[in-house]
């Protein structure tokens, strides 16, 4: 491992790797990415691979428009197949209150140039004939949303970054920091493999980000939340869009191999980081899935797994510098959307780190907002 670096990125998930890759693209190649596990060991390898522009805030909508564009070019640019398929996202809601919020979100999406449209329950069933329309009040659909296979997306960034000179070190814990100026300036990162001298650290450790920040006495409000997913046996192709229920948190799509892959919100999970599976999830998911598509009651579940959402109090990420320590930058708190936002956020964060030009988005997403009570909002959260 290198003994010094211009930047140390803590976290070898897709966010950290995207940042490292884009730094190297801009000529900053003396970068070390440190991860406590293996690539795809955290949320980046444990999610459903959804990529969408259907959000309720303009910043998220515009970011995801660019991220979807990057996803479309990723395979050819990185020379790896990520199985990106744009079958769209079909959102359904089951109450008039949520329907009103969905109407406002779609209006904003259309204002931003997203091809979203509102659908009646009958029109939603035209898209997915197997869908049970009972109880659905309103739906929305954007044909440009899609799904990628997460693992090669992570590997693509890792290989490309390494080719440009970035060092990626796995199975290595960050155990402390060396600082000067009364703790205001980072001098080195201490790891289980040794010391890396640096003045610049990016905290992109996802659900582990608060643990990393505490080593510098920085308090992040992020909370890990276990989110489970399961996969059925392969079925004949029948489902093009990813279907998501904003009331129950249910979502499901069909992979290119035919499996139905999906999950659902579950409030009753252990506190802290936990990537174990539970039988309670299977019960919640099975009831919601067979309510949405009764025919799936005959499908066999092959496997289930879990990862951690990285939740913030206002459902928006924490990005950029902090007041407490110079050279300590945040890229965490992306809820369940870090995977889909990493392509564009890695590009923007690297741009800011190299050019230090003002980015209003970073001002909105700074850590300070929680102390100042300037909380934001995002309504289209799944799970």
For 109-160, how does the pLDDT look when each residue is reduced to its tens digit (9 = 90+)? 999 999 999 999 999 999 999 999 999 999 999 999 999 999 999 999 999 9
pLDDT score of 75: 95
> 192 with 261, same domain?
no
Mean pLDDT of 344-350: 97
For residue 54, being part of any structural domain is answered with no
For residue 378, being part of any structural domain is answered with no
> 101 with 227, same domain?
yes
> 242 with 297, same domain?
yes
Mean pLDDT of 172-189: 96
d(CA 237, CA 287): 22
The residue assigned the tokens 């060092």 is 167
User: Exposed (0-12), middle (13-18) or buried (19+): which is 68, by Cβ within 10 Å?
Assistant: buried
> CA-CA distances (angstroms) from residue 313 to 224, 288, 298, 317, 374?
12, 27, 39, 10, 11
Mean pLDDT of 3-29: 98
> CA-CA distances (angstroms) from residue 82 to 9, 54, 148, 156?
24, 21, 6, 9
pLDDT score of 12: 97
> 271 with 134, same domain?
yes
pLDDT score of 379: 85
Strands 138-142 and 146-147 turn out to be: unpaired
d(CA 181, CA 327): 13
d(CA 2, CA 30): 9
Given a cut of 80, is residue 383 above it in pLDDT? Answer: no
Asked which of 311, 332, 351 is the last residue of a domain, the reply is 311
> 227 with 307, same domain?
yes
Take residue 56 and report the two structure tokens written for it.
């309720």
For residue 52, being part of any structural domain is answered with no
For residue 2, being part of any structural domain is answered with no
> 249 with 354, same domain?
no
d(CA 345, CA 351): 10
> 366 with 265, same domain?
no
Given a cut of 90, is residue 360 above it in pLDDT? Answer: no
**Greatest CA separation for the chain:** 65
pLDDT score of 367: 96
For residue 80, being part of any structural domain is answered with no
For residue 126, being part of any structural domain is answered with yes
How many structural domains compose the chain? Answer: 2
DSSP string spanning 281-333?
Answer: HHHHHHHHHHHH-GGGGGPPEEEEEEEEEEE-TTS--EEEE-SSSBTEEEEE-
Residue 200 has, within 13 A of its CA and on its CB side, a CA count of 16
> 329 with 181, same domain?
yes
Given a cut of 80, is residue 293 above it in pLDDT? Answer: yes
pTM beyond 0.75: yes
> CA-CA distances (angstroms) from residue 108 to 123, 231, 367?
21, 34, 26
pLDDT score of 120: 98
Cα–Cα nearest to 204, from 4, 17, 6: 17
**Which residues make beta-bridge pairs with 38?**
none
What is the CATH classification number for the domain harbouring 328?
A: 3.50.50.60
pLDDT band per the 50, 70, 90 thresholds, residue 358? confident
Cα–Cα nearest to 213, from 135, 294, 322, 114: 322
Asked which of 311, 336, 356 is the last residue of a domain, the reply is 311
Question: Which range, of 83-97, 240-254, 350-364, averages the lowest pLDDT?
Answer: 350-364
pLDDT score of 122: 97
pLDDT score of 359: 84
> What phi and psi values does residue 174 have, to the nearest 5 degrees?
-85, 120
pLDDT tens-place string over residues 99-109: 999 999 999 99
> 140 with 267, same domain?
yes
d(CA 228, CA 13): 18
For residue 39, being part of any structural domain is answered with yes
Strands 50-51 and 89-93 turn out to be: unpaired
> 121 with 238, same domain?
yes
Asked which of 269, 285, 311 is the last residue of a domain, the reply is 311
- Report CA Rg, the chain: 21
**C-beta separation of 156 from 74 below 8 A:** yes
Take residue 206 and report the two structure tokens written for it.
């996802």
> 159 with 292, same domain?
no
- Residue ranges making up the domain that contains 294: 85-144+223-311
Given a cut of 90, is residue 229 above it in pLDDT? Answer: yes
pLDDT band per the 50, 70, 90 thresholds, residue 299? very high
pLDDT band per the 50, 70, 90 thresholds, residue 73? very high
For residue 68, being part of any structural domain is answered with no
């Amino acid at each position: 491992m290198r003994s010094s670096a211009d930047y140390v990125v803590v976290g070898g998930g897709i966010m950290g790797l995207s940042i490292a890759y884009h730094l190297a693209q801009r000529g900053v190649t003396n970068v070390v990415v440190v991860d406590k596990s293996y690539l795809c060991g955290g949320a980046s390898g444990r999610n459903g691979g959804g990529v969408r522009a259907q959000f309720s805030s303009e910043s998220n909508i515009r970011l995801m428009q660019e991220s979807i564009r990057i996803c479309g070019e990723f395979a050819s640019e990185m020379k790896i197949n990520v199985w990106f398929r744009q079958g769209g996202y079909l959102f359904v809601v089951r109450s008039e209150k949520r329907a009103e919020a969905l109407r406002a979100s779609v209006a904003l999406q259309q204002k931003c140039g997203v091809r979203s449209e509102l659908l009646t329950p009958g029109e939603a069933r035209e898209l997915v004939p197997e869908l049970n329309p009972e109880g659905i009040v309103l739906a929305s659909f954007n044909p440009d949303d899609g799904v990628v296979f997460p693992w090669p997306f992570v590997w693509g960034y890792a290989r490309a970054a390494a080719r440009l000179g970035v060092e990626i070190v796995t199975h290595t814990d960050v155990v402390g920091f060396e600082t000067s100026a009364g703790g205001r300036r980072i001098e080195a990162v201490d790891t289980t493999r040794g010391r890396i001298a640096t003045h610049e650290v990016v905290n992109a450790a996802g659900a582990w980000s608060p643990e990393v920040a505490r080593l510098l006495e920085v308090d992040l409000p992020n909370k890990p939340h276990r989110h489970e997913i399961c996969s059925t046996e392969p079925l004949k192709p029948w489902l093009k869009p990813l279907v998501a229920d904003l009331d129950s948190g249910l979502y499901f799509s069909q992979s290119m191999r035919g499996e139905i892959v999906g999950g659902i919100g579950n409030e009753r999970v252990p506190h802290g980081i936990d990537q174990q599976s539970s039988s309670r999830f299977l019960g919640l998911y099975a009831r919601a899935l067979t309510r949405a598509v009764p025919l799936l009651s005959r499908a066999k579940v092959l496997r289930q797994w879990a990862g951690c959402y990285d939740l913030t109090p206002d459902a928006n990420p924490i990005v950029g510098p902090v007041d407490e320590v110079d050279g300590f930058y945040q890229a965490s708190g992306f809820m369940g959307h870090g995977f889909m936002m990493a392509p564009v956020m890695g590009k923007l964060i690297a741009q800011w780190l190299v050019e230090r030009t003002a980015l209003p988005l970073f001002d909105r997403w700074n850590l300070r907002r929680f102390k100042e009570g300037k909380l934001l909002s995002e309504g289209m959260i799944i799970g």
